[in-house]
Structure 1
Amino acid sequence: MAQLVDWELAAATAAKLGPTGPKVTPGEAASAVADLRRLADEATGHVAAFTGLTEAMTPGPVRVVDRRDWAAANVAGLQAVVNPLADRLTKGKEVPGLLDSVGSKVTGVQAGTVLGYLSGKVLGQYEVFSAEPGQLLLVAPNIVGVERKLGADPRDFRLWVCLHEVTHRVQFTAVPWLRSHFLAEVQAFVDASETNSQQFVTRAREALGTIADAIRDPKSTVSMIDVVQTPESKAVLDRLTALMTLVEGHAEVVMDGVGPQVIPSVGAIRESFNRRRAAGGSVESVIRRLLGIDAKLRQYAEGRHFVQTVVDRVGMPAFNTIWTSPETLPTIAELAAPEAWISRVAH
């Protein structure tokens, strides 16, 4: 049966289009991999001590990957979500013009183009789609490349990155319902976005095409969300945005809270990294907006402010009531007004 996306072609396209470098010797590469594994283990203890969260589920081993492997892992994760969705849309039957082989190859190239671009940007990721409880990925060439560009101490920068990414692993393993809740919200967004199978697939392909076109020729002014969102999906998107803002802000607060205790050069790293986040030429800016990266950068700042404000007011144990159930998560309005969340949940 034909697929919505030719996943093999997507992985091959991502591998072909992903950037190369930095130049490292085999010894330097092996050392970076060993460092990242060791520092991820070290970061786990720091995160647990700072947050008071205990992993209720046993996490898998950290995976230190290159860009090709990062893209392949995300292809596998996307397959786990998209293939059942396509099956549900078509009830397992062929739909002429919907899941045809030509269309799946076009979508495969588009998805691969997006993943190829992202594979050169992502430092780490807690990937939750492919299996429970998820897997921690650290992209070694990107970490080494950025630490060199920033002139950062390698040990300090690598531990700093690990603190952020390990915090995400702790979130999803210490809060057993969080992954299933996140996946349910993603499904709810899809359900709210779809009016019928043909319209949904058309919207999905338009969204991928919009991003892929911008990467090749960044003159488009259309956002991916503009393409796929419907009025019915806005409420779900608000909940998803609030959740992602919380988990990103929480990780930022952990980085800033633990960093000064264990990373001597953390102040210089944070300052240099923030400048790098804000930088980018016109091409980069368009692509970041289309992919939602600009929104993610705002999530870091907004989420950090919310988490830090709550922790300062009520302390970390009371803040941790946020992980009790989906009902205790902040709304998107409460993220801008931490006092409202405190009054509702942590009073």
Structure 2
Amino acid sequence: MFGNPEQMAQAMRQFADMLSAPQGSGPVNWDMAKNIARHSVAAEGDPSVMEGERRQIIEALSLADLWLNEATTLPSGVSNPQAWSRSEWIENTVPIWRKLCEPIAERMVETMGGALGGSGLPPEAQQMAGPLMGMLKQMGGMMVGQQIGQAIGSLAREVVGTTDIGLPLSDTAALLPGGIASFSEGLEVPSDEIRLYLALREAAHHRLFQHVPWLRSHLLGAVEEYARGITVDTSALEEQIRGLDINNPEAIQEALSGGNLLKPEETERQKAALARLETMLALVEGWVATVVDQAAQGKLPSAVALAETVRRRRATGGPAELTFGTLVGLELRPRRLREAAALWRALESERGVDGRDALWSHPDLMPTADDLDDPEAFVRGEQSWDISQLEAKPDDEGEGEGGKS
């Protein structure tokens, strides 16, 4: 009657998490989402970081940061290097996932609340059924939290640090020994070279995120804006959960595990926003690849092979990244890595390291998607920008959020 006892127990735990969520805590039960993510990584083994591993990671990040001084004018962004288990990665990155997920999650939860019982009632009846409606919205939050928790847990099993997807998930530069071990499988490269190369990438990202003032809000704001504009296919969502018996934990568990529960629709406006965001992600990734290649030259014999491995990994994405794309509404992958890297190399050749890195001083100086089509024209183009004038714009803050990318 009750099916798999473990599934029954899991469903009951999720009910307890749902009912314990404080009122007004937002559309998603984040405690439950975090617990699901942690249980997901623990189920496949997530040992604590050993002291020897921690020391190796900290030394690699410190040495990598030193090497980067020769490749970029941006100062160090690594102040407290750390080694994390997958569970620690989840704990430390959830605040950013919450910021990214809640815009679309709020729409999903409202839709679920209506589909589970409130949309067909007259206003008077809805007022009388207020407590029940609140519980139904909690149910929707539990469903979305289940999906988010599963996706974050899957990502935690794939990442090697805090910057794998090109977004600033944490202010702390950290690498995961477990993630590095998974990344290293099948590679005939010494483990210390792999660790150092991945440390170079992590440290390079943090130089950008810590010392380019507009970049963090520009990237996260673009994802939020994209998610807020998504049109949810409410009819399909309502059809899938209509008639769900909230007294039947097995039925709820089956609904929660449905991978197609959350599939937002893209509008033309969102496709345009996605193209702009992908351009900026490509520029970040292209710059990181360029400075890492330069910093590793003559020091890491396998740097070229490792760069190609990372490039393929970033270009294709893993199953977890695709899963998370459903939740945020987009796949956080740069589409034009090679073009962006070629542009940064051309800039360095023409203007030097100082001239290359100076573009990060303001978002309006950044190349556009059209510039990636013809990097030589961008590099040789007339510099008509005056930084002092840009900084004096009265709507400068707004430009920083929505400027060219």
Note closer, same or farther for the CA distance 1:99–1:63 as it changes in structure 2 (3 Å cut).
farther
TM-score by length of 2: 0.65
* 2:80 aligned with 1:61: yes
Note closer, same or farther for the CA distance 1:129–1:31 as it changes in structure 2 (3 Å cut).
closer
Cα pair 1:311 1:319 within 8 Å, conserved: yes
Letter in structure 2 aligned against 1:242: T
Among residues 192, 196, 200, which one is paired with 1:155 in the alignment?
192
Alignment of 1:1-347 (within 5 A): 1=23, 3-18=26-41, 20=44, 29-55=50-76, 60-82=79-101, 96=133, 100-126=137-163, 128=168, 134-193=171-230, 227-270=264-307, 273=309, 277=313, 289=322, 291=324, 296=333, 298-344=335-381, 346=383
- 1: CA distance, partners of 2:258 / 2:189: 33
Note closer, same or farther for the CA distance 1:294–1:177 as it changes in structure 2 (3 Å cut).
closer
Cα pair 2:340 2:372 within 8 Å, conserved: yes
How much has 1:259 moved relative to structure 2?
1.4
Range with bigger deviation, 33-42 or 98-107: 98-107
- 1: CA distance, partners of 2:83 / 2:94: 17
- 1: CA distance, partners of 2:210 / 2:382: 22
Note closer, same or farther for the CA distance 1:70–1:294 as it changes in structure 2 (3 Å cut).
same
- 1: CA distance, partners of 2:85 / 2:362: 36
Range with bigger deviation, 140-149 or 169-178: 140-149
How much has 1:142 moved relative to structure 2?
1.0
Which digits, 9 at most, give the CA deviation of each residue in 1:273-307, with x for residues without a partner?
35973999xxx876655556987264433332332
How much has 1:38 moved relative to structure 2?
1.4
Note closer, same or farther for the CA distance 1:251–1:286 as it changes in structure 2 (3 Å cut).
same
Cα pair 1:193 1:232 within 8 Å, conserved: no
TM-score by length of 1: 0.74
Consecutive unaligned residues of structure 2, counting only runs of 5 or more, are 1-22, 111-129, 242-253, 385-405
Letter in structure 1 aligned against 2:223: V
- 2: CA distance, partners of 1:345 / 1:54: 28
- 2: CA distance, partners of 1:300 / 1:279: 8
- 1: CA distance, partners of 2:293 / 2:335: 17
- 1: CA distance, partners of 2:311 / 2:362: 36
- 2: CA distance, partners of 1:39 / 1:135: 15
How much has 1:115 moved relative to structure 2?
1.1
- 2: CA distance, partners of 1:135 / 1:105: 30
Which digits, 9 at most, give the CA deviation of each residue in 1:299-340, with x for residues without a partner?
433332332233233322221232121101121221232134
Structure (1 or 2) with the larger CA radius of gyration? 2
Residue identity (%): 24
Q: How large is the Cα RMSD of the aligned pairs?
A: 4.1
Letter in structure 1 aligned against 2:75: T
Letter in structure 2 aligned against 1:62: P
What SS does the aligned partner of 2:174 have? strand
Letter in structure 2 aligned against 1:168: H
How much has 1:162 moved relative to structure 2?
0.7
How much has 1:250 moved relative to structure 2?
0.9
What SS does the aligned partner of 1:164 have? helix
Note closer, same or farther for the CA distance 1:309–1:275 as it changes in structure 2 (3 Å cut).
closer
